[in-house]
Structure 1
Amino acid sequence: MSDTGKSPAGISSAGAERYSVGVIGAGTMGNVHADAWRSTGARLIGVYDIDPAAGERLATKFGIAAFPSRQALFDAVDIVDVCTPTYTHAENVVAAAQAGKHVVCEKPMALSLEECASMIRAAEQAGVRLFIAQVVRFFAEFATAKQLIDSGKIGKVGVYRSTRGGSNPGEAGPTWFTQEYRSGGVVLDLMVHDIDYARWVCGDVERVYCRRFLGANTDYALITLRFRSGAIGHIEGSWAFPAGMFRTAFDIAGDGGLLTYDSESSAPLRFRRREQAAAKGGVVVPSSPMDPADNPYLKEIQHFLSCLMSGEQFLVTAYDAMAAVQVALAARQSALTGRPVTLEPLSLGQKG
Structure 2
Amino acid sequence: MASVTLGVIGCGGMGSDLARNAQKLEHANVAVVSDLDEKRARTLAEQVKSTYYLDYGALLARDDIDAVLIASPPFMHRQMTEAAADAGKHVFCEKPMAPTVADCDAMTQAVTEAGVKFQIGHVCRYHGTHGKVRELVASGAYGTPTTMIVWRIGGGWGDSHPNWRYKLAESGGTLMEVNAHEIDFMRYVCGDVANVSAIGGTYVQTRHDYPDVTLVSLQFTSGAVGFLQSGNASAIGGYGGRVDCTEGSIDFPAFWGGGATIDTKRFDGEREEIAIGDLDFETPVKAEIRAFVDAILDDTDTAITAADGRAIVEVARAAYRSIEEGGAVISLG
The TM-score with structure 2 as length reference comes to 0.91
Q: Which residue of 2 aligns with 1:221?
A: 214
Q: How does 1:201-350 map to 2 (within 5 A)?
A: 201-217=189-205, 219-242=212-235, 247-261=238-252, 262=254, 263-264=256-257, 266-276=259-269, 282-285=271-274, 287-288=276-277, 294-345=282-333
User: Which structure has the higher relative contact order (CA within 8 Å, separation 6+)?
Assistant: 1
Cα pair distance change 1:141/1:102, threshold 3 Å: same
Q: Which residue of 2 aligns with 1:198?
A: 186
**Pair 1:20 & 2:39 matched:** no
* Per-residue Cα deviation, 1:125-166 (whole angstroms, up to 9, x for no partner): 111001011111111111111111111021110000001123
**Pair 1:38 & 2:23 matched:** yes
* Per-residue Cα deviation, 1:46-76 (whole angstroms, up to 9, x for no partner): 1111222221122122221112421221133
Q: Which residue of 1 aligns with 2:209?
A: none
Question: What is the distance in 2 between the residues matched to 1:273 and 1:314?
Answer: 35
Choose 128-137 or 167-176, whichever is displaced more. Answer: 167-176
Is the contact made by 1:108 and 1:188 (CA closer than 8 Å) also made in structure 2?
yes
SS at match of 2:327: coil
Runs of 4+ in 1 over 3 A off after TM superposition: 170-174
Q: Which residue of 2 aligns with 1:5?
A: none
Is the contact made by 2:193 and 2:332 (CA closer than 8 Å) also made in structure 1?
no
Unaligned runs of 5+ in 2: 207-211
* Per-residue Cα deviation, 1:97-130 (whole angstroms, up to 9, x for no partner): 1100000000000011111011111111111001
How many residue pairs get aligned? The number is 323
Q: Which residue of 2 aligns with 1:65?
A: 51
Pick the aligned partner of 1:170 from 135, 158, 167: 158
Cα pair distance change 1:65/1:197, threshold 3 Å: same
Choose 159-168 or 89-98, whichever is displaced more. Answer: 159-168
Is the contact made by 2:117 and 2:301 (CA closer than 8 Å) also made in structure 1?
no
* Per-residue Cα deviation, 1:165-202 (whole angstroms, up to 9, x for no partner): 23311344553211222112111211221111111111
Cα pair distance change 1:265/1:211, threshold 3 Å: farther
Question: What is the distance in 1 between the residues matched to 2:275 and 2:257?
Answer: 17
SS at match of 1:155: coil
The TM-score with structure 1 as length reference comes to 0.86
Unaligned runs of 5+ in 1: 1-14, 346-352
AA aligned to 2:229 is: E
AA aligned to 1:155 is: G
Displacement of 1:265: 6.1
Cα pair distance change 1:300/1:113, threshold 3 Å: same
Is the contact made by 2:119 and 2:303 (CA closer than 8 Å) also made in structure 1?
no
AA aligned to 2:176 is: L
Question: What is the distance in 1 between the residues matched to 2:166 and 2:71?
Answer: 18
* Per-residue Cα deviation, 1:261-317 (whole angstroms, up to 9, x for no partner): 1135614212111124xx6xx3113653567x8311111111111222223333322
SS at match of 2:277: coil
Q: Which residue of 2 aligns with 1:102?
A: 90
Q: Which residue of 2 aligns with 1:12?
A: none
Pick the aligned partner of 1:111 from 99, 117, 128: 99
Question: What is the distance in 2 between the residues matched to 1:171 and 1:119?
Answer: 32
Question: What is the distance in 2 between the residues matched to 1:314 and 1:270?
Answer: 32
**Pair 1:125 & 2:113 matched:** yes
Is the contact made by 2:41 and 2:54 (CA closer than 8 Å) also made in structure 1?
no
Is the contact made by 1:207 and 1:340 (CA closer than 8 Å) also made in structure 2?
no
Is the contact made by 1:191 and 1:236 (CA closer than 8 Å) also made in structure 2?
no
Question: What is the distance in 2 between the residues matched to 1:126 and 1:37?
Answer: 24
Question: What is the distance in 1 between the residues matched to 2:171 and 2:123?
Answer: 18
